[in-house]
Structure 1
Amino acid sequence: MTIRVAMIGLGNVNRNLLTILSNKKDRLKNDFQIEFKVVCVADSSGIAVDSNGYNPEQICALKVSGKKVRDFSGYLSEEKIETVMQNIDCDLIFEASPVDLKTGGAGLTVSRIALQRGISVVLANKAPLVLAFQELHLLAKKNHAGLRYSATVCGGLPVINIGQRDMIAANVTKLCGIFNSTSNFILDEMAIGRSYTDALAEAQRLGIAEADPSLDVEGWDTANKLAIIANSILNYQATLQDIKVEGITHITTEMLQRERAQGRVIRLLAIAENDSLSVKPTPIREEEFLANCSGWEMGVEIHSDIYGIMYHKLWEREPVPTAASMLRDAVNICCGHWGKSGALCIRD
């Protein structure tokens, strides 16, 4: 079974996905009878299409050398992405373009058109879900397309999958988690004596934090993930307006050290409990599970009526696990595995 795919966005996540597709080509054939053929690539310079397929290794090599899609064979100089998506012959979209939480950007446009055409979508981009979760799921169901997005929440940690697949008939009574490793790293650095400014600068030097870290440190990246979780697992039709959000910019080294003297640490927690959603810096006892998710780690604690209390965490410094999550989602779609966006997507 050959799956024709479009790669929208060629940043770290999709480039790592291309490497995985190349390295795991034989494994995917042997284990799942699937071969992925990349027939379309897009970045900020434009779109290129080749029905014969692009070599994943060559795409990565060209990008690493400083080339852009406009330098690729099959470059469509005058075409807009909307037009290409309306006409392209493909089965699945890997969408990892830059996050645009105001308009949804290319990610939302591509997702809408693809799902309307019955083309499955795998997202690493949170914006389409945050802005149009219900709409996209209705489109997927109506047009018998797959829609998966486990990479949007905690990268390689399968929070969405656990909630949708492994907690059948459960009522989740409480969910809390650390979903942003940038803020977690900064708080840990401050706890050992660094100022907020110095801790942020170190995070930026290491490539953990963006030049504009506001989404991370003001709590909005965590809130985006909590909104996706709420809609996916908790049966809340939640938007960002339903979440009380407080970041870490007001936290001081002195506050952290005072808590430490009392046997507590401060973590930026996403909390869903009693029909309330919040993101806030929260003191927790040192012996608690989430208190021991430090530095690069992300974690989640899920309480339910029939499955007890689950604890999961992940150490993820590189984007490889996030890219691998996109592959996992694609295989689940193509092989007709479990799903929540309508009927199972079993291919003929």
Structure 2
Amino acid sequence: MKFNLALIGFGGVNHGLAEVIRQKQAMLADRYGMTLNITAVSDMRFGTIWHEDGLDLDALIALPAKGYAVDDVLAKAGTQRGGASLAETLSMIQLNCVDVVLEATFTNPQTGEPALSHCRTALSAGKHLITTNKGPLALAGHALQSLASEMGVQFLFEGTVMSGTPVLRQLDVTLRGCDISGFRGILNGTCNFVLSQVEAGASFADAIREAQQLGYAEADPTADVEGWDVQLKVAILANALWGNGMKPAEIAREGITGLSEQQVREARAEGYAWRLIGEGRQQADGSINGTVGPQKLPLTDPLLAAHGANNAVTFTTDLLGAMTVSGPGAGRHETAFAMLSDLIDLNDRIKK
């Protein structure tokens, strides 16, 4: 099956996806009978570009090295260009040459915008939607899923919780048959990396700077270090597990900025480690409690198998006891893999 793709945002994640598509083209065709064709891209640095038959993949991948000058992309006859406004992006999403919208922009954790508008427009226009963006899902997930169902399209979001490490699909597939009463996890790669570096002797400022250089942290790391990012992820996981419509604002939140470098290093010397932990638990009456905050964990805790920018989450189940999933929680190619896995899942669903 052939999918024409619109990439919304062409930063690390969607640029990484373009690289992965080029790398995996033959395998995707041979193994899954699937062809991925990028027909449209929107990014605040160059606006919108599209071609009904597909954009030049090599020229797209070369954009960052060329300062996002799109001359080589536009050299293909028939390529069109628009501006960088939200209205122009929303118009591009609705083009007939787009089947699947892949949304990977920055989002405001309080409003979900502009990603929420991208997502609503895609689904309303009858486009399949894949996003790694936590805001729309945490703030309006039920409404978006209802809209997708109404329009007969798929809405997939594996990369929203632990980047490339499959967690939501574990719940949907491999853990069916288990009742899960709670979870607790290291769900932010930036904070995990920063605390690991501080334990090793770095200052908080230097550790955050290094995380930014490595692509783990945004230019403004506030959403990470103040716990906003994990708050959204706890809401997504809780709603995936229990469908209770939990809102991020209902989850108590504290970041790591209240910890001192001395506290972090002393804990390690005592056989403990400070980590930012997101938790959710279903109570006997069916209500859900959610929290985000730093916790002092013994070094024997399985969550501490997640080093550096890795993440881990432990589910409390009735049949398996405590089960921990660990893997990459940040990184452009890791998150791009989550989008690729959603595209393969989309292909499987449509073929059924």
Q: Which TM-score applies when normalising by structure 2?
A: 0.89
Paired letter, 1:240: P
Classify 1:108/1:195 alpha carbon distance in 2 versus 1 (closer, same or farther; 3 Å).
Answer: same
Match runs of 1:77-156 below 5 Å? 77=83, 80-156=88-164
1:63 and 1:258 map into 2 onto residues whose CA distance is 42
- Specify the alignment match of 1:47 in structure 2: 48
2:209 and 2:7 map into 1 onto residues whose CA distance is 33
- Aligned residue pairs: how many? 339
Structure 1 runs of 4+ off > 6 angstroms? none
1:169 and 1:243 map into 2 onto residues whose CA distance is 27
2:43 and 2:8 map into 1 onto residues whose CA distance is 7
Offset of residue 110 of structure 1: 2.1
Classify 1:118/1:205 alpha carbon distance in 2 versus 1 (closer, same or farther; 3 Å).
Answer: closer
Match runs of 1:125-204 below 5 Å? 125-204=133-212
* 2:293 corresponds to which of 252, 258, 280: 280
Paired letter, 2:191: S
State whether structure 2 residue 35 is matched by structure 1 residue 22.
no
Asked if the contact 1:3/1:92 (under 8 Å) is kept, the reply is: yes
State whether structure 2 residue 57 is matched by structure 1 residue 56.
yes
State whether structure 2 residue 337 is matched by structure 1 residue 331.
no
Offset of residue 261 of structure 1: 4.3
Asked if the contact 1:125/1:152 (under 8 Å) is kept, the reply is: yes
Offset of residue 41 of structure 1: 1.0
Asked if the contact 1:69/1:75 (under 8 Å) is kept, the reply is: no
- Specify the alignment match of 1:10 in structure 2: 10
Offset of residue 194 of structure 1: 3.6
Residue aligned with 1:24, SS: helix
State whether structure 2 residue 320 is matched by structure 1 residue 307.
yes
Q: Which TM-score applies when normalising by structure 1?
A: 0.90
Asked if the contact 1:42/1:69 (under 8 Å) is kept, the reply is: no
Paired letter, 2:310: E
Offset of residue 205 of structure 1: 4.6
Residue aligned with 2:122, SS: helix
Per-residue CA distance 1:73-94 (angstroms, 9 max, x = gap): 3113597222333343321111
- Specify the alignment match of 1:296 in structure 2: 309
Offset of residue 267 of structure 1: 1.0
- Specify the alignment match of 1:74 in structure 2: 80
Asked if the contact 2:328/2:334 (under 8 Å) is kept, the reply is: no
Per-residue CA distance 1:116-175 (angstroms, 9 max, x = gap): 232110101222112211110000111111111111111111111111222224321120
Per-residue CA distance 1:283-331 (angstroms, 9 max, x = gap): 1111111123222221111111123321111146631121011011011
Unaligned runs of 5+ in 1: 337-345
Residue aligned with 1:145, SS: coil
Offset of residue 258 of structure 1: 3.7
- Specify the alignment match of 1:253 in structure 2: 261
Asked if the contact 2:216/2:331 (under 8 Å) is kept, the reply is: no
Q: Percent same amino acid at aligned positions?
A: 29
Classify 1:8/1:176 alpha carbon distance in 2 versus 1 (closer, same or farther; 3 Å).
Answer: same
2:206 and 2:29 map into 1 onto residues whose CA distance is 49
Structure 1 window deviating more from structure 2 (35-44 vs 197-206): it is 197-206
Offset of residue 198 of structure 1: 3.8
Per-residue CA distance 1:9-62 (angstroms, 9 max, x = gap): 111111111111111111111111110111111111321221111122221113
Classify 1:114/1:202 alpha carbon distance in 2 versus 1 (closer, same or farther; 3 Å).
Answer: closer
Paired letter, 2:184: C
Residue aligned with 1:153, SS: helix
Residue aligned with 2:217, SS: coil
Classify 1:202/1:30 alpha carbon distance in 2 versus 1 (closer, same or farther; 3 Å).
Answer: closer
